[in-house]
Chains A and B, each alone.
Chain A
Amino acid sequence: MSTIWLFFVFFLRKLSGLGASASWLCSRLPGRFRSVAITVCLVVTWEVSIGGDMFRRVLGKTLGFLGYTVQYGCIAHCAFEYIGEFVACSGPSMEPTITSHDVVFSERLSRHLCRIEKGDIVIAKSPFDPHMNICKRVIGLEGDKICTSGPSDVFKTHQYVPKGHVWLEGDNLRNSTDSRSYGPVPYALIRGRVCLKLWPPHNFGALNQSPTGRIVKRSD
């Protein structure tokens, strides 16, 4: 099948050398794409040589437009990945600091430079479902001793945060599933640090300190 196409290419007098070599290259592609790609190359080269100036102009503009789209898409990706992103929170686990339907800005630089500290509110991927994100406060870093028993328990139990992990807890201790249920979270799951609350407007600004007093004072 591909040889028939090649003969067709070479016998068409109006075709330029570029079209012929493009069609030869397409004939090297695996089966699925071969016929489609060869047809597209032949049609484009035929149109460009026959249709003349106008088609060339339209093709040039389309390619330019595609180029700009790719360039700005890449810049947007870099901005959202390395500078910061806007997050709409839902759920009661961070009340009263962040209520449901608040919009916050989380910056990515601290996470990439490994400068997340105790007391920061972070957005992380959920350990049990990578498509969901969780918004919690960092209570302890690696090596810290966390008190895992409740305030009403008689015997206090402790746990050390392993290397490369953090201990996350929501500010609303009564209504939050966090590290107290699923254990320490790997640091690499953290996406960013929440630094500014943007919505609702009457609450605009930096976020408050932890109201729970659970942050580990120093590592033992």
Chain B
Amino acid sequence: MAQAGAGRRYVRAFVSGFFVAVPVTVTVLDRFAYVARVEGASMQPSLNPEGNVTGSDVVLLNRWSVRNYQVRRGDIVSVLSPKNPQQKIIKRVIALEGDFIKTLGYKNRYLKVPDGHFWIEGDHHGHSLDSNSFGPVSLGLVHGRASHIIWPPNRWQRIEPSIPPERMPLLNWHADATEDEEKD
């Protein structure tokens, strides 16, 4: 009888612990931080520089900083794929709404990014399924901002936002007329 009582106590403790741990974990993964392994070569050399030979990079995705859909040019973000809603793709933000950009292989050579959209590209042009294939992406699809590489340990680093200079936007319609930058 004492053993049955002790067993029931353990079961109750397990169940109550379960109902605390699962919602808290799910909320943290949905709202604060998410950990994801990067697959593929579309972001070389920034992520996965040696492909899958030495193991893929694992990044920490900050979901709290994109809760108001605020991304900056040059950030690496994870986005729900417009082609497959169950897949997340990780690419760099090249241009925001209102920017006028030159595309690499899209159906239009020059494009103004529409309101509420942004333009993403992988660092490894040609090996990347990005906005050059499916066009500007709606801001509602943004999932998280990759802030740190946390595995493998020799690649621990903070990811800094940077755009390759040849991919900078040509013009921004929302900027002041005196501040227009025209790049070749």
Binding site for B on A (CB under 8 A): 70-71, 73-75, 77-78, 81-82, 114, 125-131, 162-165, 186-189
Contacts and interface: CB of A to CB of B under 8 A. Distances in A.
Rank and list the top 7 A-B pairs by shortest CB-CB distance, nearest first: A125-B140, A130-B140, A188-B80, A128-B116, A74-B23, A74-B27, A188-B85
B31 A77 contact: yes
Contact of B30 (A81, A127, A129, A163): A81
Contact of B116 (A74, A81, A127): A127
Contact of B23 (A77, A125, A164): A77
B140 A74 contact: no
A188 B81 contact: yes
Contacts of B31: 77
A162 B134 CA distance: 10
Contact of A164 (B27, B30, B82, B115): B82
Contacts of A189: 138, 140-141
B69 A131 contact: yes
Secondary structure dominating the interface of B = mixed
The contact size tier of chain B is 20 to 34
Contacts of B27: 73-74, 77-78
Given A81-B30, A82-B26, A125-B138, 15 more contacts: A71-B20, A75-B19, A75-B23, A78-B22, A78-B26, A81-B26, A125-B140, A127-B116, A127-B138, A128-B117, A130-B138, A163-B83, A164-B85, A186-B80, A188-B81
Nearest to B143: A188
Contacts of B116: 126-130
Contacts of A70: 24
B138 A186 contact: yes
A186 B26 contact: no
Contacts of B68: 131
Given A77-B27, A189-B140, A129 B84 contact: no
B86 interface: yes
Nearest to A70: B24
8 contacts: A70-B24, A127-B116, A130-B139, A163-B83, A165-B82, A186-B80, A186-B138, A186-B141
